[in-house]
């Protein structure tokens, strides 16, 4: 059984499009029903077949198309739709995961071993860390989203993004998902910096990690499907809305008390969650999502989400 890349439905006899490489159900198997890039080839004299017919009229019509439309058509035809590049093209979640791990390697392997810039040094921090001391290093607004403080940090975030990201991306679309992830990540980091300057003005700290962005993704999913079951530690079933509320309460208490304000960016988490909940409320009426995340087959043949 496979999942339709267009609507998310599970199909026992899926259709695999040879042109775009995606998988579809019976309702979306036709190219025009899933906006297949291969449709652009029908407007090219040699895209589908060479009939030998005089195409001068067609060529004149095509010359009137805007440069942007023709450029997009060329990109769609030339960009691979299979293999690793094809997977990343169709799944922004996996692209973000790749960027996170690539940044991690640069942080802890490339910089210290090949450039002699040790982790935690002033130059290292100026590249990867959004800090209250240097908030106008605007590049760190982005680099700090993909940078992480250690292996456990990036592993936990990767697991969360891997399970929750694709579900939300399929419902929002790539463009909206990218905007949500980056906007939430930037504002979450800036919120943590602002809270540090306000509550602990003399504190030497900084923000790294995609937690704020990922929690925004969870916030959207909480609004769209609050009863979705999440299996904590692969054992304990918890509705997503309870997990979200519990996390929000803990972050709020921790942010206003002495519970680890230096190592856990609680205000970044709360900001990301707020953005996700707000955006989820906006799109709730336009999208439908499954009651559970199917990432593995459980006993008795049932599919369950385990996280």
**pLDDT tens, residue by residue, 211-254:** 899 999 999 999 998 888 888 777 788 888 888 888 777 666 65
The secondary element (H helix, E strand) that includes residue 237 is strand 236-239
Q: pLDDT class for 91, splitting at 50, 70, 90?
A: confident
pLDDT tens-digit profile of 30-61?
A: 887 887 876 665 554 444 444 454 555 455 55
Decide yes or no: CATH 3.40.50.2300 for domain 91-304: no
CATH 1.20.1540.10 domain residues, the chain: 91-304
Alpha carbon dihedral 37, 164, 227, 253, in 10-degree steps, equals -140
Q: pLDDT class for 105, splitting at 50, 70, 90?
A: very high
* pTM of the complete model: 0.66
Taking alpha carbons only, the member of 196, 192, 212, 194 closest to residue 204 is 196
First-residue to last-residue Cα distance in the chain: 21
């Amino acid at each position: 059984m496979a999942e339709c890349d267009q609507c998310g439905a599970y199909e026992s006899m899926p259709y695999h499009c040879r042109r775009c490489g995606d998988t579809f159900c019976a309702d979306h198997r036709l190219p025009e029903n899933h906006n297949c890039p291969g449709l652009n080839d029908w407007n090219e004299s040699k895209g589908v077949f060479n009939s030998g017919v005089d195409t001068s009229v067609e060529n004149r019509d095509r010359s009137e198309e805007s440069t942007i439309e023709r450029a997009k058509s060329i990109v769609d035809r030339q960009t691979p739709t299979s293999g690793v590049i094809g997977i990343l093209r169709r799944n922004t979640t996996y692209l973000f995961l790749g960027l996170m791990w690539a940044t991690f390697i640069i942080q802890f392997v490339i910089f210290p071993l090949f450039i002699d810039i040790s982790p935690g040094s002033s130059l290292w921090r100026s590249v990867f860390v959004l800090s209250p001391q240097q908030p106008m290093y605007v590049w760190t607004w982005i680099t700090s989203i993909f940078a992480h403080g250690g292996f456990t940090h990036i592993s936990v975030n990767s697991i969360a993004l891997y399970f929750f990201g694709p579900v939300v991306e399929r419902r929002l679309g790539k463009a909206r998902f990218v905007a949500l992830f980056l906007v939430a990540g930037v504002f979450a980091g800036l919120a943590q910096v602002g809270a540090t300057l306000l509550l602990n003005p003399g504190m030497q700290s900084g923000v790294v990690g995609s937690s704020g962005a990922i929690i925004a993704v969870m916030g959207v999913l909480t609004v769209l499907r609050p009863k979705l079951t999440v299996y904590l530690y692969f054992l304990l079933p918890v509705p997503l809305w309870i997990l979200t509320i519990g996390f929000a309460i803990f972050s709020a208490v921790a942010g206003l008390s002495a519970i680890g304000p230096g190592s856990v960016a609680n205000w970044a988490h709360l900001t990301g969650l707020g953005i996700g909940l707000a955006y989820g409320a906006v799109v709730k009426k336009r999208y439908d999502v499954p009651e559970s995340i199917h990432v593995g087959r459980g006993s008795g043949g049932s599919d369950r989400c385990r996280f």
